[in-house]
Structure 1
Amino acid sequence: MHLIYLQALELNPNDKQALAARSKCYLLLGEPKLALSDAETALSIDKNFIKAIFQKGEALYHLGNFEHSLMFYHRGLKIRPEMEDFRLGVQKAQEAIENTIGKMGAVLDLENPSRGPTSNRSSNVPGTGGKPPSNLSTRKITGGTTATRQEIENRKTTRRLLGELCLDKEYLENLLNHPDLICLHQSGKNHIGQLAQEGVAFLTNRQEFWRQQRPNTSKK
């Protein structure tokens, strides 16, 4: 079927309808990168072309870029609120994001199954014999610290955007500063540290995504 659209595009490379249709065909053939390319080309011709907006969202979703696919599903839903495809797109993208966050937590739990609930994780750091190291506990805002007002506001913003995952992010950030992990990193055997870095990067990206989705959150 995509050969028909290929021929049509040879006659008229700027046929946005053919581009969107071929993008759909590429997805059916398991070629999301090609589908994304056609959708973006169609949008360069008409940025509000609803079929191309949907196809870009679909292509991004199949590429595993759930956050950006959600943005395009929302964009299409705003233009055409009656289209069920966009509602379903928003739903599946949100579920995929939640599942991805859950899997990241599962990976960390598998790496250190002895750690307890989030609130008790500082007492289960690998290499410490179960003893809670002092530098893993979150800094308390007292007269003996140098935490600035900006740091406090940043923590509040992070908590609003990530919810309970904020504690996971703080745990991982503090874990990276643990002396045992620093020594492992220097010896090139820091597998746990690598996972922690990936976890922090993952949560930081999610935090930025939700900040863009809810700009008023960071101003409260």
Structure 2
Amino acid sequence: MKSRSPTKTEKKTEAGKGKRLAPEVRRAQMLDAAARMIVEQGYLPLPVEELARQVGASKGLVYAYFPTQYDLFNTLLEREIDSLLLGGLETASQVKDLEQAAVLCAMLYFEHVARSGPLLNILMTDLYMAGHLSPKVRHSCEAIAVRLTHLAARELPCSEEEIHAAIEMMTAIPDEAGRLVFHRELDQTTARQICHGLIESCLKALRAPEKVSVPD
């Protein structure tokens, strides 16, 4: 659903609460505040009244920019994914060597989460968004996953189902390592080394699963 233009009443309300901001500035302000709130809260949805309070706007003005919370969260998802792609994830996923591609993608994601928090994970996994991801979000995520899946299928003695499961498990490594750094529960250098080592260990195990001993 497209956002509508603020009404005259909403514009007056906004003006009464402070200097009137350009629409793109106000929109970015709402997105930034929503991102902070989601990371702090850890789940969806958000209390719109609190979001409005944090940006110094009316609840009606928030809905003028984002008619539903699904619109708000998909916009945040698109912004997060675009940031990752422009930051190198698109290029990393196209590397022809599986280990290099996997490590590059994982470390780029780790640095992103360590810097910005686990916003992407919350938005993608919270049940509130089940069935409500925008086509653009789904396409962007699927494009990266398909590239890595095809690359892994050529190099690993695993079924496609096993590869999908492995990618999902390995995605959790940089996500958790980055989250610990973001919340200052682990220093970044140590977390980076652990993340890198675990990704390499996962790939090693997938290349020769019969050689990995699992205790009974």
* TM-score, length of structure 2 as denominator length: 0.26
Using CA pairs below 8 Å that are at least 6 residues apart, which structure has the higher relative contact order? 2
Larger radius of gyration: 1
